[in-house]
Amino acid sequence: MALLPDATYDDPAVLDGFAPVPLIDISPVRGAPAERAAVAAEVAAALEGIGFMMITGHGVPQALIDELFAVSYEFFTLPLEEKLRASSPDHNRFQGYAAPGQVDGAQISERQSFNVHRFNTLEEAWASGYPADCGTSIHPAMWPVRPAAFRDVWRRYFAAMEVLGAELMSIVELALGIPAGYFADKIDRHQSALVGNYYSFDIDSGREPSPFRFKAHVDDSALLTILYQDDGPGGLQLHQRGKGWRTVLPVPGAYVVNIGQVLERWTNDKFVATPHRVLRPPETETAPRLSVPFFFKCNLDAVIEPPPGLLAEGEERRYPTITGREWAQRTHRNDYDSPLAFAERAALDPLLQTT
Protein backbone atom coordinates (compact mmCIF):
# COMPACT_ATOMS: atom_id res chain seq x y z
CA MET A 1 0.00 0.00 0.00
CA ALA A 2 1.27 3.48 -0.84
CA LEU A 3 0.02 6.93 0.04
CA LEU A 4 -0.33 9.31 -2.87
CA PRO A 5 1.83 11.07 -3.76
CA ASP A 6 4.54 9.04 -1.98
CA ALA A 7 7.10 11.76 -1.62
CA THR A 8 4.88 14.44 -0.13
CA TYR A 9 3.22 13.16 3.01
CA ASP A 10 6.05 14.11 5.33
CA ASP A 11 5.36 17.74 4.40
CA PRO A 12 2.65 19.18 6.68
CA ALA A 13 1.83 21.89 4.15
CA VAL A 14 1.10 19.30 1.49
CA LEU A 15 -0.75 16.99 3.86
CA ASP A 16 -2.97 19.93 4.74
CA GLY A 17 -4.24 20.07 1.16
CA PHE A 18 -4.24 16.53 -0.18
CA ALA A 19 -5.99 13.41 1.04
CA PRO A 20 -3.74 10.46 1.98
CA VAL A 21 -5.72 7.97 -0.06
CA PRO A 22 -4.12 4.50 -0.03
CA LEU A 23 -3.08 3.11 -3.42
CA ILE A 24 -3.64 -0.66 -3.44
CA ASP A 25 -2.70 -3.19 -6.09
CA ILE A 26 -5.55 -5.72 -5.85
CA SER A 27 -4.14 -8.17 -8.42
CA PRO A 28 -2.51 -10.42 -5.74
CA VAL A 29 -6.04 -11.25 -4.52
CA ARG A 30 -6.19 -13.65 -7.46
CA GLY A 31 -3.17 -15.53 -6.10
CA ALA A 32 -2.27 -17.59 -3.06
CA PRO A 33 -4.17 -17.33 0.26
CA ALA A 34 -1.42 -15.30 1.90
CA GLU A 35 -1.50 -12.77 -0.94
CA ARG A 36 -5.28 -12.56 -0.74
CA ALA A 37 -5.08 -11.94 2.99
CA ALA A 38 -2.52 -9.17 2.52
CA VAL A 39 -4.74 -7.33 0.03
CA ALA A 40 -7.74 -7.74 2.32
CA ALA A 41 -5.79 -6.24 5.22
CA GLU A 42 -4.88 -3.18 3.15
CA VAL A 43 -8.47 -2.74 2.03
CA ALA A 44 -9.75 -3.08 5.60
CA ALA A 45 -7.32 -0.43 6.83
CA ALA A 46 -8.39 1.97 4.06
CA LEU A 47 -12.13 1.51 4.50
CA GLU A 48 -12.01 1.58 8.28
CA GLY A 49 -9.93 4.74 8.21
CA ILE A 50 -10.53 7.22 5.41
CA GLY A 51 -13.28 5.30 3.59
CA PHE A 52 -11.55 5.79 0.23
CA MET A 53 -8.88 3.88 -1.67
CA MET A 54 -7.31 3.90 -5.10
CA ILE A 55 -6.86 0.57 -6.84
CA THR A 56 -4.63 -0.72 -9.58
CA GLY A 57 -4.41 -4.29 -10.86
CA HIS A 58 -8.17 -4.10 -11.36
CA GLY A 59 -8.23 -5.95 -14.68
CA VAL A 60 -10.13 -3.31 -16.67
CA PRO A 61 -8.23 -2.74 -19.93
CA GLN A 62 -6.94 0.80 -20.31
CA ALA A 63 -8.03 0.64 -23.95
CA LEU A 64 -11.65 0.21 -22.83
CA ILE A 65 -11.36 3.13 -20.38
CA ASP A 66 -9.92 5.28 -23.16
CA GLU A 67 -12.75 4.26 -25.50
CA LEU A 68 -15.31 5.19 -22.86
CA PHE A 69 -13.81 8.62 -22.32
CA ALA A 70 -13.45 9.26 -26.05
CA VAL A 71 -17.09 8.49 -26.92
CA SER A 72 -18.30 10.32 -23.82
CA TYR A 73 -16.38 13.49 -24.69
CA GLU A 74 -17.76 13.21 -28.22
CA PHE A 75 -21.32 12.90 -26.90
CA PHE A 76 -21.12 15.70 -24.35
CA THR A 77 -19.74 18.15 -26.93
CA LEU A 78 -22.64 17.59 -29.35
CA PRO A 79 -25.21 20.39 -29.75
CA LEU A 80 -27.54 20.63 -26.74
CA GLU A 81 -30.64 20.03 -28.85
CA GLU A 82 -29.25 16.69 -30.01
CA LYS A 83 -28.27 15.57 -26.50
CA LEU A 84 -31.71 16.42 -25.17
CA ARG A 85 -33.20 13.79 -27.47
CA ALA A 86 -31.59 11.24 -25.14
CA SER A 87 -33.26 12.77 -22.06
CA SER A 88 -35.81 11.05 -19.85
CA PRO A 89 -39.40 11.56 -21.05
CA ASP A 90 -40.34 11.70 -17.35
CA HIS A 91 -37.65 14.28 -16.45
CA ASN A 92 -35.89 11.61 -14.39
CA ARG A 93 -32.29 12.63 -13.80
CA PHE A 94 -31.33 8.95 -13.38
CA GLN A 95 -32.35 8.11 -16.94
CA GLY A 96 -30.36 9.17 -19.97
CA TYR A 97 -29.04 12.70 -20.45
CA ALA A 98 -29.57 15.60 -18.05
CA ALA A 99 -28.47 19.17 -18.72
CA PRO A 100 -27.49 21.85 -16.20
CA GLY A 101 -30.51 23.46 -14.59
CA GLN A 102 -32.90 20.66 -15.60
CA VAL A 103 -33.34 19.14 -12.17
CA ASP A 104 -33.65 20.74 -8.76
CA GLY A 105 -31.13 19.89 -6.08
CA ALA A 106 -28.52 17.69 -7.71
CA GLN A 107 -28.23 19.04 -11.26
CA ILE A 108 -26.55 22.33 -10.36
CA SER A 109 -24.05 24.66 -11.92
CA GLU A 110 -22.49 23.41 -15.17
CA ARG A 111 -22.73 19.62 -14.71
CA GLN A 112 -24.11 17.53 -17.54
CA SER A 113 -24.72 13.85 -16.93
CA PHE A 114 -25.67 10.60 -18.64
CA ASN A 115 -27.08 7.61 -16.75
CA VAL A 116 -27.57 4.00 -17.76
CA HIS A 117 -28.58 0.89 -15.83
CA ARG A 118 -28.08 -2.83 -16.37
CA PHE A 119 -30.83 -3.41 -18.95
CA ASN A 120 -32.13 -1.58 -21.97
CA THR A 121 -35.76 -2.29 -21.06
CA LEU A 122 -37.72 -3.38 -18.01
CA GLU A 123 -38.84 -6.43 -19.98
CA GLU A 124 -35.20 -7.53 -20.14
CA ALA A 125 -34.89 -7.07 -16.38
CA TRP A 126 -38.01 -9.11 -15.65
CA ALA A 127 -36.85 -11.87 -18.01
CA SER A 128 -33.60 -11.99 -15.98
CA GLY A 129 -35.44 -12.63 -12.73
CA TYR A 130 -35.75 -9.08 -11.43
CA PRO A 131 -38.81 -8.31 -9.28
CA ALA A 132 -41.87 -6.64 -10.78
CA ASP A 133 -41.18 -3.36 -8.97
CA CYS A 134 -37.56 -3.02 -10.16
CA GLY A 135 -38.60 -0.07 -12.32
CA THR A 136 -38.49 2.11 -9.23
CA SER A 137 -34.70 1.73 -9.15
CA ILE A 138 -33.59 0.93 -12.70
CA HIS A 139 -34.80 2.71 -15.81
CA PRO A 140 -34.95 1.94 -19.53
CA ALA A 141 -31.92 3.12 -21.47
CA MET A 142 -32.10 6.34 -23.50
CA TRP A 143 -29.28 5.85 -26.01
CA PRO A 144 -28.14 8.73 -28.23
CA VAL A 145 -27.89 8.27 -31.99
CA ARG A 146 -24.40 9.74 -31.98
CA PRO A 147 -21.66 8.77 -31.44
CA ALA A 148 -22.42 5.53 -33.28
CA ALA A 149 -20.18 3.54 -30.91
CA PHE A 150 -21.58 5.08 -27.72
CA ARG A 151 -24.00 2.29 -26.81
CA ASP A 152 -21.57 -0.55 -27.50
CA VAL A 153 -18.73 1.05 -25.54
CA TRP A 154 -20.89 1.95 -22.56
CA ARG A 155 -22.37 -1.55 -22.45
CA ARG A 156 -18.92 -3.21 -22.55
CA TYR A 157 -17.67 -0.88 -19.86
CA PHE A 158 -20.74 -1.53 -17.70
CA ALA A 159 -20.06 -5.28 -17.94
CA ALA A 160 -16.45 -4.71 -16.86
CA MET A 161 -17.67 -2.72 -13.85
CA GLU A 162 -20.01 -5.54 -12.85
CA VAL A 163 -17.08 -7.95 -12.77
CA LEU A 164 -14.90 -5.52 -10.82
CA GLY A 165 -17.69 -4.70 -8.38
CA ALA A 166 -18.26 -8.38 -7.61
CA GLU A 167 -14.54 -8.94 -7.10
CA LEU A 168 -14.31 -5.96 -4.75
CA MET A 169 -17.20 -7.34 -2.70
CA SER A 170 -15.34 -10.65 -2.39
CA ILE A 171 -12.36 -8.67 -1.07
CA VAL A 172 -14.71 -6.91 1.36
CA GLU A 173 -15.75 -10.34 2.65
CA LEU A 174 -12.12 -11.18 3.32
CA ALA A 175 -11.51 -7.78 4.90
CA LEU A 176 -14.44 -8.25 7.26
CA GLY A 177 -13.54 -11.85 8.10
CA ILE A 178 -16.96 -13.15 7.07
CA PRO A 179 -17.68 -16.28 4.99
CA ALA A 180 -16.64 -16.18 1.34
CA GLY A 181 -19.61 -15.76 -0.94
CA TYR A 182 -21.77 -14.02 1.67
CA PHE A 183 -22.66 -11.17 -0.69
CA ALA A 184 -23.06 -13.29 -3.84
CA ASP A 185 -26.84 -13.74 -3.66
CA LYS A 186 -27.28 -10.15 -2.50
CA ILE A 187 -25.74 -8.55 -5.61
CA ASP A 188 -26.74 -10.94 -8.42
CA ARG A 189 -29.76 -8.78 -9.31
CA HIS A 190 -28.10 -5.48 -8.49
CA GLN A 191 -29.60 -2.06 -9.22
CA SER A 192 -26.31 -0.45 -10.27
CA ALA A 193 -25.89 2.65 -12.40
CA LEU A 194 -23.10 3.94 -14.65
CA VAL A 195 -22.95 7.73 -14.82
CA GLY A 196 -20.91 10.14 -16.89
CA ASN A 197 -20.47 13.57 -15.29
CA TYR A 198 -19.20 16.25 -17.67
CA TYR A 199 -18.26 19.62 -16.22
CA SER A 200 -17.78 22.66 -18.41
CA PHE A 201 -18.80 26.31 -18.69
CA ASP A 202 -20.51 26.10 -22.08
CA ILE A 203 -24.15 25.72 -20.93
CA ASP A 204 -25.87 28.31 -18.75
CA SER A 205 -27.73 26.56 -15.94
CA GLY A 206 -29.88 29.61 -15.24
CA ARG A 207 -28.76 29.56 -11.61
CA GLU A 208 -26.53 31.63 -9.45
CA PRO A 209 -22.92 30.40 -9.64
CA SER A 210 -22.07 27.89 -6.95
CA PRO A 211 -18.63 27.21 -5.44
CA PHE A 212 -19.33 23.52 -6.02
CA ARG A 213 -19.86 21.48 -9.13
CA PHE A 214 -21.36 18.82 -6.89
CA LYS A 215 -22.30 19.64 -3.30
CA ALA A 216 -21.02 17.69 -0.31
CA HIS A 217 -22.72 14.31 0.06
CA VAL A 218 -22.22 10.67 0.85
CA ASP A 219 -23.20 8.02 -1.69
CA ASP A 220 -26.44 6.96 -0.10
CA SER A 221 -27.64 4.20 -2.41
CA ALA A 222 -24.43 2.33 -3.20
CA LEU A 223 -22.38 -0.42 -1.63
CA LEU A 224 -19.33 0.87 -3.49
CA THR A 225 -18.63 3.70 -5.90
CA ILE A 226 -15.95 2.92 -8.49
CA LEU A 227 -14.77 6.15 -10.10
CA TYR A 228 -12.47 6.92 -13.00
CA GLN A 229 -11.66 10.60 -13.44
CA ASP A 230 -9.52 12.65 -15.77
CA ASP A 231 -7.24 15.48 -14.66
CA GLY A 232 -9.55 18.33 -15.66
CA PRO A 233 -9.87 21.33 -13.33
CA GLY A 234 -12.23 21.36 -10.37
CA GLY A 235 -11.46 18.01 -8.84
CA LEU A 236 -12.80 15.67 -6.20
CA GLN A 237 -12.41 16.41 -2.49
CA LEU A 238 -13.14 14.17 0.47
CA HIS A 239 -13.68 15.11 4.08
CA GLN A 240 -11.02 13.66 6.36
CA ARG A 241 -12.24 13.41 9.93
CA GLY A 242 -10.71 16.06 12.12
CA LYS A 243 -8.69 17.47 9.21
CA GLY A 244 -11.26 19.07 6.91
CA TRP A 245 -11.60 18.94 3.15
CA ARG A 246 -8.78 17.33 1.12
CA THR A 247 -8.21 16.99 -2.61
CA VAL A 248 -8.09 13.51 -4.17
CA LEU A 249 -5.48 13.58 -6.91
CA PRO A 250 -6.27 11.54 -10.04
CA VAL A 251 -3.79 8.77 -10.80
CA PRO A 252 -3.61 7.46 -14.38
CA GLY A 253 -4.81 3.88 -14.59
CA ALA A 254 -6.22 3.82 -11.05
CA TYR A 255 -9.80 3.79 -9.85
CA VAL A 256 -11.00 5.77 -6.84
CA VAL A 257 -13.23 3.52 -4.70
CA ASN A 258 -15.32 4.66 -1.77
CA ILE A 259 -18.05 2.97 0.19
CA GLY A 260 -21.64 4.14 0.37
CA GLN A 261 -24.06 4.30 3.25
CA VAL A 262 -25.42 0.85 2.45
CA LEU A 263 -22.09 -0.85 3.18
CA GLU A 264 -21.44 1.44 6.13
CA ARG A 265 -24.73 0.26 7.61
CA TRP A 266 -24.14 -3.38 6.62
CA THR A 267 -20.80 -3.37 8.46
CA ASN A 268 -22.23 -1.70 11.57
CA ASP A 269 -20.00 1.33 10.86
CA LYS A 270 -16.78 -0.70 10.74
CA PHE A 271 -16.32 0.80 7.27
CA VAL A 272 -17.03 4.51 6.88
CA ALA A 273 -18.94 6.38 4.18
CA THR A 274 -16.96 9.57 3.72
CA PRO A 275 -18.52 12.87 2.59
CA HIS A 276 -17.10 14.21 -0.66
CA ARG A 277 -17.74 16.99 -3.15
CA VAL A 278 -16.52 18.48 -6.44
CA LEU A 279 -15.19 22.03 -6.50
CA ARG A 280 -15.89 24.59 -9.20
CA PRO A 281 -12.65 25.99 -10.67
CA PRO A 282 -12.15 29.63 -11.68
CA GLU A 283 -13.74 30.45 -15.02
CA THR A 284 -10.27 31.15 -16.36
CA GLU A 285 -9.70 27.38 -16.23
CA THR A 286 -11.87 26.51 -19.21
CA ALA A 287 -10.84 22.90 -19.85
CA PRO A 288 -13.74 20.46 -19.30
CA ARG A 289 -13.62 17.64 -16.77
CA LEU A 290 -15.11 14.16 -17.10
CA SER A 291 -15.62 11.68 -14.29
CA VAL A 292 -17.40 8.35 -14.61
CA PRO A 293 -18.66 6.73 -11.39
CA PHE A 294 -20.17 3.26 -11.27
CA PHE A 295 -22.57 2.97 -8.34
CA PHE A 296 -22.57 -0.72 -7.39
CA LYS A 297 -25.79 -1.51 -5.53
CA CYS A 298 -27.39 -4.49 -3.84
CA ASN A 299 -30.53 -6.40 -4.79
CA LEU A 300 -33.91 -4.99 -3.83
CA ASP A 301 -34.66 -8.09 -1.75
CA ALA A 302 -31.25 -8.16 -0.02
CA VAL A 303 -31.47 -8.10 3.78
CA ILE A 304 -29.12 -5.44 5.13
CA GLU A 305 -27.90 -6.43 8.58
CA PRO A 306 -24.54 -7.37 10.12
CA PRO A 307 -23.28 -10.67 8.64
CA PRO A 308 -22.83 -13.67 10.96
CA GLY A 309 -19.57 -13.42 12.86
CA LEU A 310 -19.05 -9.70 12.22
CA LEU A 311 -19.99 -8.34 15.63
CA ALA A 312 -17.76 -8.93 18.60
CA GLU A 313 -19.24 -10.46 21.73
CA GLY A 314 -21.35 -7.82 23.44
CA GLU A 315 -21.17 -5.42 20.50
CA GLU A 316 -24.51 -3.74 19.84
CA ARG A 317 -26.13 -3.35 16.47
CA ARG A 318 -26.37 0.30 15.46
CA TYR A 319 -29.15 -0.08 12.91
CA PRO A 320 -32.34 -2.13 12.55
CA THR A 321 -32.63 -4.64 9.72
CA ILE A 322 -33.78 -3.15 6.42
CA THR A 323 -34.12 -4.52 2.90
CA GLY A 324 -32.54 -3.14 -0.22
CA ARG A 325 -36.02 -2.18 -1.39
CA GLU A 326 -36.77 -0.23 1.80
CA TRP A 327 -33.40 1.50 1.60
CA ALA A 328 -33.96 2.42 -2.06
CA GLN A 329 -37.35 3.91 -1.19
CA ARG A 330 -35.74 5.94 1.55
CA THR A 331 -32.95 7.26 -0.64
CA HIS A 332 -35.35 8.12 -3.48
CA ARG A 333 -37.13 10.43 -1.05
CA ASN A 334 -33.87 11.92 0.21
CA ASP A 335 -31.26 12.20 -2.52
CA TYR A 336 -27.65 13.02 -1.69
CA ASP A 337 -28.04 13.26 2.08
CA SER A 338 -30.60 15.37 3.89
CA PRO A 339 -29.74 18.50 5.88
CA LEU A 340 -30.67 16.55 9.02
CA ALA A 341 -28.37 13.64 8.22
CA PHE A 342 -25.54 16.00 7.37
CA ALA A 343 -26.13 17.96 10.57
CA GLU A 344 -25.77 14.71 12.50
CA ARG A 345 -22.44 14.03 10.80
CA ALA A 346 -21.30 17.62 11.39
CA ALA A 347 -22.12 17.31 15.09
CA LEU A 348 -19.40 14.64 15.27
CA ASP A 349 -16.95 16.77 13.29
CA PRO A 350 -17.68 20.51 12.91
CA LEU A 351 -15.03 20.78 10.18
CA LEU A 352 -17.48 19.00 7.87
CA GLN A 353 -19.36 22.26 7.40
CA THR A 354 -16.29 24.33 6.56
CA THR A 355 -15.47 25.28 3.00
List all residues 6 or more positions away from 198 whose beta carbon is below 8 Å from its beta carbon. Answer: 72, 73, 76, 111, 112, 113, 114, 288, 289, 290
**108: exposed, middle or buried (Cβ count in 10 Å: 0-12, 13-18, 19+):** buried
Quick one: which H or E segment has residue 289? Answer: strand 289-296
Hey, is 76 helix, strand or coil? Answer: helix
Measured between alpha carbons, how far is 143 from 151 in angstroms, rounded to an integer? 6
Question: In angstroms, how far is CA 137 from the centroid of its own chain?
Answer: 16
Which carries the bigger pLDDT value, residue 112 or residue 14? 112
- Note whether 269 and 310 are within 8 A (CB): no
**pLDDT class for 145, splitting at 50, 70, 90?**
very high
**pLDDT class for 298, splitting at 50, 70, 90?**
very high
Pairing, β 2-3 against β 22-25? antiparallel
Domain ranges of the chain: 22-353
Which strands make up the sheet holding 22-25, listed edge to edge?
Answer: 2-3, 22-25, 52-56, 255-259, 224-229, 289-296, 193-199, 111-116, 96-98
**pLDDT class for 105, splitting at 50, 70, 90?**
very low
Summarize pLDDT for 14-69 with one digit per residue, the tens. 334 566 889 999 999 999 999 999 999 999 999 999 899 999 999 999 999 999 99
CATH class name, domain 22-353: mainly beta
Q: What is the pLDDT of residue 282?
A: 75
Residue 294 carries which side chain, given as an amino acid letter?
A: F
Cis peptide before 147 (omega within 30 of 0): yes
Measured between alpha carbons, how far is 89 from 84 in angstroms, rounded to an integer? 10
Selection from 135, 137, 110 nearest residue 123 by Cα: 135
Q: What is the pLDDT of residue 347?
A: 59
Which carries the bigger pLDDT value, residue 199 or residue 168? 168
Considering the chain, what is the average pLDDT of its residues?
A: 85
pLDDT of residue 104 exceeding 60, the answer is no
Question: In angstroms, how far is CA 288 from the centroid of its own chain?
Answer: 20
pLDDT of residue 323 exceeding 60, the answer is yes
Summarize pLDDT for 302-311 with one digit per residue, the tens. 999 999 999 9
> How many CA atoms lie less than 13 Å away from 330 in the CB half-sphere?
15
DSSP state of 150: H
Which carries the bigger pLDDT value, residue 18 or residue 118? 118
